Chain A
Amino acid sequence: MDIAELQEIAQKERFSEKPVQIRCCVAAGCLSANSQTVKQRLEESVTSAGLEAQVQVTGVGCMRLCCNGPLVEVKEKNTDSLGTLYEKVTPEDAPSIIATLNGVETTVQKGDLAQPFFTYQMPIVLENSGKVDPERIQSYIAAKGYQALYHVLREMTPAEVVETVTRSGLRGRGGAGYPTGVKWATVAKAKGDAYGARSDRKFVICNADEGDPGAFMDRSVLESDPHRVLEGMAIAAYAVGANQGYIYIRAEYPVAINRLQTAIRQAQRLGILGSQIFDSRFDFKIDIRIGAGAYVCGEETALMASIEGKRGTPNPRPPYPAESGLWGYPTLINNVETYANISPIIRKGADWFASIGTEKSKGTKVFALAGKIRYTGLIEVPMGTPLQRIVEEMGGGVPDGRVVKAVQTGGPSGGCIPASAFDSPVDYESLTQLGSMMGSGGMIVMDDSTNMVDVARFFMEFCMDESCGKCIPCRVGTVQLHQLLTKIREGKASMADLELLEELCDMVKHTSLCGLGQSAPNPVFSTLRYFRDEYLALIAPVTSKT
């Protein structure tokens, strides 16, 4: 395979495109609303209307507005004008959508593609999502896919790749925000395994164990554009000198697993994965490892233990995985979204990427917008976008005439940001300052009917269940914290209990072994910081008795 062949595939794919494209979302959200049948009916309707020569029905990835699925978009080829978006399409609607191509009006609900939910988006990670067919590699190649990998293998040295990624300012999208380039450089430099023996074996891992409740960005990326993640991983492997990659994915995402398997098979068949990729001396193989439902496996050392077939319990760091990871060999672990950012950075340059976002947080971030909000779904915005814009303008505010109270970011490790702080920009530093964190990108909006003590208790219950039990502060601390929160919720607590709660939170935060325990008290801290009166209101009756 060389660049000419790659371009030939792209050309052939573009040439075979028909004048009218009908895109039907087949990502998990719409699939559960029966979009597979919708797609089938659309195809049948095209055939019965005799329009096969002009109209093409394709299944595509996520089209963002998940609350109104199944979504269908009708778009003419070679025009820059927006297509027509149909919402909540039922299989019975299919003939009437096809009839619109002949100028007949339809009663199917139309979406507004010019509404803020769409116009404020800046697709980099999701640029192919909703456009390419995730089950066909040709479709990805036609969208400039694998050109970055070709360029890297043929024209760049590994050191140049690492330098480009460092210069782009990309930071880990898994939550902590560690500079990706620095991590790559460490693994690239690492030599030898845990036992001090020199060895050239290294591994690249893609962390797709998206366990945060309320986050579904990684799932959407994998379902909508699996090849981009594979390409990012291959570039990373070349840069650090690894020949074997693993994708660790949750078993709860069967559609994503399936598409990844298809994608890997297709790439291998074309010689884009395997040995001597693009006739270079670079070999790279990717295997999928399916998780078995343990939240703690999102933590990198626990994840590696799980790949090794052990209980997913974390290990103390250092040594960091970059020096001694999988089976003791140097290992690079990045999140799905981080890998998805790599190919555009190579294609368009580090400076282009660094020009987007804020001073310390570059590029865009994908958020899963959910909860009590009018438009739920997937959004990708530049770093530094104010929360106000995301919640009020893009999300359309809270329905049913209620008032927005807070936004929860970062899952069980994050915190609740009150409505009063909505003017602050979304980037790593600002969110940390507000007592929350970027996390993987879940954003859950809560209205005034939500009790914040309940929310804190909900997250503590989650951490209690998911604690692996290896270290005592987390195993025992989360149980005690949960009991204290329950006591407060039931109105049986005193001021002393509240003090104890704060003290215990501090202890768990500072003495736990891994990220799960260290961040478990965060929801309590942030709700105590902004909604202390709700805690006090539940305590007041008891104190008045004494």
Chain B
Amino acid sequence: MNSASAAQKKTPKQALSATHASGDKRFKMLDATIKRYQYQQDALIEVLHKAQELFGYLESDVLYYVAHSLKLPPSRVYGVATFYHLFSLAPSGAHTCVVCTGTACYVKGAQTILTELEKSARIHAGETTPDSQLSLLTARCLGACGIAPAVVFDGKVLGNQTAESVCEWLRHCFAERN
């Protein structure tokens, strides 16, 4: 049923966009960005930022598409996408939890928080839980050193955290969902 409704959705959009075979509207939005940068190969990083914003992560289909649009070898696009930490080649979980491991946070016990989170979520930093509910990530420095240790939950920065308070948040998050 899902595929049927998806196919239904596709038809009108396909008429609008001749850019990508799937007719996914997001490719059209990506096209607009590429056009704004006048197909300049130097704008690769900006285009990848936009692609990640639209698709959530950079699947190989998207990378090929970008390579083709900018007339760059796919190896170059893949090379850039894998070089920078912010580009993700795999989908992330429904929730993200980023633990800052900058020096100030480190001195104030960010490592304990991270270990505790890894234990309770049963994943390592940089991984996503098998049910794709939570992605646990680390950041090098959020620049929020005044309120160290800092943790970012779904885009919200929380300061002065402890292992307990973070796990409490985690439970709260999942309780809300179930």
Q: Which residues of A contact B (CB under 8 A)?
A: 28-29, 31-33, 66-67, 69, 210-216, 219, 251-253, 289-295, 306-312, 368, 370-372, 376-378, 408, 411, 442, 444-446, 450, 458-459, 462, 466, 468
The answer, yes or no, to whether B167 is at the interface (CB within 8 Å) is no
Of B46, B102, B159, the most chain A CB neighbours within 10 A belong to B102
Inter-chain contact A312/B140, CB cutoff 8 Å: no
- Asked if A251 and B147 sit within 8 Å, CB to CB, the answer is no
Q: List B contacts of A308 (CB < 8 A).
A: 42
**In the docked arrangement, what's the CA distance between A468 and B85, Å?**
11
CA distance A468 to B86 in the complex (A): 15
In the complex the two chains form, what is the Cα distance from A158 to B102 in whole Å? 41
Q: Given A212-B141, A307-B42 in contact, is the A371-B146 Cβ separation under 8 Å?
A: no
Q: Which of B12-20, B104-112, B168-176 lies on the face that meets chain A?
A: B104-112
Contact of B103 with A294 in the complex, beta carbons under 8 Å: no
Residue numbers in B under 8 Å from A216 (CB-CB):
141, 143-146
CA distance A196 to B104 in the complex (A): 47
Which residues of chain B are within 8 angstroms of A444 by Cβ–Cβ distance? 103-104, 107, 145
Minimal beta-carbon separation of A280 from chain B (angstroms): 28
Q: Given A32-B150, A32-B157, A444-B103 in contact, is the A309-B141 Cβ separation under 8 Å?
A: no
Q: Assuming the A-B contacts A214-B102, A289-B46, are A252 and B80 also in contact, with contact meaning beta carbons closer than 8 angstroms in the complex?
A: no
With a cutoff of 8 Å between Cβ atoms, the chain A residues found around residue B89 in the complex are none
B145 partner residues in chain A, CB cutoff 8 A: 66, 214-216, 368, 370-371, 376, 442, 444
B76: chain A residues within 8 A (beta carbon): 310
Number of interface residues of B (CB under 8 A): 39
Interface centre among B79, B108, B141 (most CB of A within 10 A): B141
A-B contact pairs, 18 of them (CB 8 A): A32-B150, A66-B146, A67-B147, A213-B141, A215-B143, A216-B144, A252-B142, A290-B45, A290-B46, A294-B83, A294-B85, A308-B42, A309-B43, A309-B45, A309-B80, A311-B80, A376-B104, A458-B106
Which one, A28, A69, A372, A446, contacts B143 given CB within 8 A? A28
Task: Give Cα A377 to B76, complex, Å.
Answer: 42
Interface membership of B64, Cβ < 8 A: no
Q: Is the CB of A251 within 8 A of B86?
A: yes
Q: A29 and B84: CB pair below 8 A?
A: no
Chain A residues whose C-beta falls within 8 Å of the C-beta of B108 in the assembled complex: 371-372
Q: Chain B residue with minimal CB distance to A255?
A: B143
Contact A312 B84 (CB under 8 A): yes
Given A294-B84, A370-B104, A411-B103, residue A214 in contact with residue B46 (CB < 8 A): no
Query: Which chain B residues in 101-153 approach chain A with CB under 8 Å?
Result: 101-104, 106-108, 139-148, 150
Please indicate the chain A residues that have their CB under 8 angstroms from the CB of B140 in the complex.
211, 213, 293, 295, 462, 466
Q: Which residues of A lie under 8 Å from residue B42 when comparing CB positions?
A: 307-309
Q: Are A372 and B45 in contact (CB under 8 A)?
A: no
Any chain A CB within 8 A of the CB of B65? no
B48, B49, B83 — which one has the most chain A CB atoms within 10 A of its CB? B83
Task: Please state if A69 and B45 are interface contacts (CB–CB under 8 Å).
Answer: no
The complex places the Cα of A215 from the Cα of B84 at a distance, in Å, of: 21
Q: How far is the CB of B71 from chain A (nearest CB, A)?
A: 13
Residues of B within 8 A of A (CB): 40-46, 48-49, 76, 79-80, 83-87, 101-104, 106-108, 139-148, 150, 156-159
Partner of A292 from the list B45, B141, B147, B156 (CB cut-off 8 Å) is B45
Contact status B84-A292, CB under 8 Å = yes
Smallest Cβ-Cβ distance to A253: which chain B residue: B143
**Cβ of B45: which chain A residues have Cβ within 8 Å of it?**
289-290, 292, 306, 309
A100 to chain B, nearest CB (A): 26
Complex contact A214–B103 (CB within 8 A)? yes
Q: When A252-B142, A377-B146 are in contact, do A32 and B107 touch as well, CB less than 8 Å?
A: no
Query: How distant is the Cα of A312 from the Cα of B80 in the complex, in angstroms?
Result: 8
The CA of A466 and the CA of B140, in the complex, are separated in Å by 10
Q: A33–B49 contact, CB under 8 A?
A: no
Cα distance A252–B143 in the bound complex, in angstroms: 8
Which of B46, B84, B147 is A293 in contact with, Cβ under 8 Å? B84
Partner of A32, one of B101, B102, B144: B144
Known contacts A211-B140, A292-B48, A294-B83: does B104 contact A29 (CB below 8 Å)? no
**A292 partner residues in chain B, CB cutoff 8 A:** 45, 48-49, 84-87
Determine the chain A residues whose CB is within 8 A of the CB of B101 once the complex forms: 213
- Shortest distance in angstroms between A486's beta carbon and chain B's nearest beta carbon? 14
Docked CA distance A146–B5 (Å): 57
With contact pairs A251-B49, A293-B85, A371-B107 given, residues A66 and B141 touching in the complex (Cβ less than 8 Å): no
| CB-based nearest B residue for A64 | B146
Verify A32–B147 contact, CB threshold 8 A.
yes
**A309, B144: Cα distance in complex, Å:** 28
Residues of chain B lying within 8 A (CB to CB) of residue A442: 103, 145
Contacts of B106 in A (CB 8 A): 213, 458
Cβ–Cβ < 8 Å partners of A307 in chain B:
42
Chain A residue at minimal CB-CB distance from B145: A370
A253–B141 alpha-carbon span in the complex (Å): 10
Chain B residue contacts of A372, Cβ below 8 A: 107-108
List 10 A-B pairs, minimum CB-CB distance, nearest first: A66-B146, A213-B102, A292-B84, A32-B157, A293-B85, A214-B103, A309-B44, A370-B145, A216-B143, A370-B104
- The interface residues of chain B lying within 8 Å CB-to-CB of A291 are 84, 86
Is there an interface contact between B157 and A371, defined as CB atoms closer than 8 Å?
Answer: no
CB distance from B157 to the nearest CB of A (A): 4
Q: Using CB atoms, name the residue of chain B closest to A307.
A: B42
Distance A291 CA – B86 CA, assembled complex (angstroms) = 9
Give the docked Cα–Cα distance between A370 and B143 (Å). Answer: 11
Given contacts A292-B45, A306-B45, contact A371 B143 (CB under 8 A): no
- Chain B's closest residue to A210 (CB) is B143
Determine how close the nearest CB of chain B comes to the CB of A449; give it in whole angstroms.
9
Contact across chains for A293 and B41 when beta carbons are under 8 A apart: no
Max count, chain B CB within 10 A of own CB: residue among A311, A450, A458:
A311
Contacts of B48 in A (CB 8 A): 292
Closest to B48 in A: A292
Q: Which residue of B lies closest to A447 (CB)?
A: B107
Can you name the residue of chain B whose Cβ is closest to the Cβ of A62? B146
B104: chain A residues at CB < 8 Å are 213-214, 370-371, 376, 444
Are A311 and B79 in touch, CB under 8 angstroms?
yes
CB-CB under 8 A from B49, the residues of chain A are 251, 290, 292
